Amino acid sequence: MTDDLATFEAETLARIATAADLAALDAVRVAALGKNGTLTALMKGLGAVAADERKARGAALNAAKDALAAAIEARRAGLANTALDAKLAAERLDVTLPVRPEVPGLIHIISRTVEEITAIFGAMGFTVAEGPDIEDDWKNFGALNIPEHHPARQDHDTFYLPGRTVDGREKVLRTHTSPVQIRSMTGGPPPIRVIAPGRTYRADHDATHSPMFHQVEGLAIDRAITLAHLKGCLVDFLRAFFGIAQLPVRFRSSYFPFTEPSMEVDIGWNRRTGELGAGGDWLEILGSGMVHPKVLLNCGIDHREWQGFAFGMGIERVAMLKHGLTDLRPFYDSDLRWLRATGFRPEDVASTATGIA
């Protein structure tokens, strides 16, 4: 090996060994082995070397090239490991630290109220039935003995949808969950004992009404169902739901097209303070009655053999009364402050009925 090549190799190996980072190492590589590097230029100059020296000179240049390339790769691996160690040290996590505090998710008051209602009626033997939000006008009105001229069928009360069903009926956003009762009665033979919680829609909006709201309706069909069963069922439910063992409950004669006889149900409260169960005043809470014979016939049930009762209430209404809320609109405003103030933790046990046979 000639002295100039030996000196170049030694100096380059020294620069490789002292390269502080990958960028500096790459600069040494380019200076020595790049297209315009020193060793590349020496190899290009082999043609000017005397023929008797050319072979030895070429071998020396190749040996130097291999030595420098190996040194560069070894240094590159070392620098890469050093960089990785530095990155891991900088991004190190102390797994012994406590977790960062996070605001837990809460159950919406509507969802919790549905859970409570379902649990109470479930203890009485009711199962949950469901149906679509878009119904035909027969299930929503006609089968329920609601005549064509009834105000509830008008556009100012009901949302009608374009198009018709396959059997030519008008489509509506259901105004109550009563169509689920119709589906239950036409879906199989009695006896039937179901509740139908779900979304409903009416063209109304103010502090106590919303275009979309929730209802729960109940239906019991059997051979020996009487008005006494209806009254006992609702009294037990209302006292269990509001947590007042002796809550006053009153039944008033009323009118609904789908029940006969029909009754409004009131609970005792204090008009001045809003306290439930006290004060000598009455507050209407839900509607109920014995299923109208025409409704049974519309569903293919012989009213001479079977009879039953039905009831319905607004879920938001009973939730507002139970929790002392006065405005319906925040239920759907997605205000996190309100939701956190009224929500329920998942681990909280819902207040449900106890001791109901």
- Which H or E element spans position 201? strand 192-201
* Residue-averaged pLDDT of the chain: 87
pLDDT tens per residue across span 283-295? 999 999 999 999 9
pLDDT tens per residue across span 12-24? 888 888 888 888 8
For residue 356, what pLDDT band results from cuts at 50, 70 and 90? very low
Could you give the number of structural domains in the chain? 2
pLDDT in the model for residue 23: 85
Q: What is the Cα–Cα distance from 346 to 146, expressed in whole angstroms?
A: 41
Q: Which domain holds residue 85?
A: 2-90
Q: What is the Cα–Cα distance from 221 to 266, expressed in whole angstroms?
A: 24
Average pLDDT over residues 287-308: 95
For residue 349, what pLDDT band results from cuts at 50, 70 and 90? low
In a domain, 221, yes or no: yes
Locus of tokens 């306290």? 275
Are residues 212 and 310 located together in one domain of the fold? Answer: yes
In a domain, 318, yes or no: yes
Q: Do residues 8 and 66 make contact, with C-beta atoms less than 8 angstroms apart?
A: no
In a domain, 96, yes or no: no
Are residues 230 and 119 located together in one domain of the fold? Answer: yes
In a domain, 351, yes or no: no
Lowest mean pLDDT among 66-75, 149-158, 278-287: 149-158
Q: Which two tokens stand for residue 120?
A: 């109470």
In a domain, 128, yes or no: yes
pLDDT in the model for residue 201: 92
pLDDT tens per residue across span 26-53? 888 888 888 888 887 777 777 677 777 7
In a domain, 356, yes or no: no
**Closest by alpha carbon to 216, among 195, 238, 193?**
195
* CA distances, 122 to each of 70, 71, 198, 216, 303 (Å): 78, 79, 16, 13, 26
Are residues 259 and 168 located together in one domain of the fold? Answer: yes
Are residues 164 and 286 located together in one domain of the fold? Answer: yes
pLDDT tens per residue across span 112-158? 999 999 999 999 999 999 999 999 999 999 899 888 777 777 766 78
pTM of the model: 0.68
Which residues are registered as beta bridge partners of 186? none
Does 89 have pLDDT greater than 80?
yes
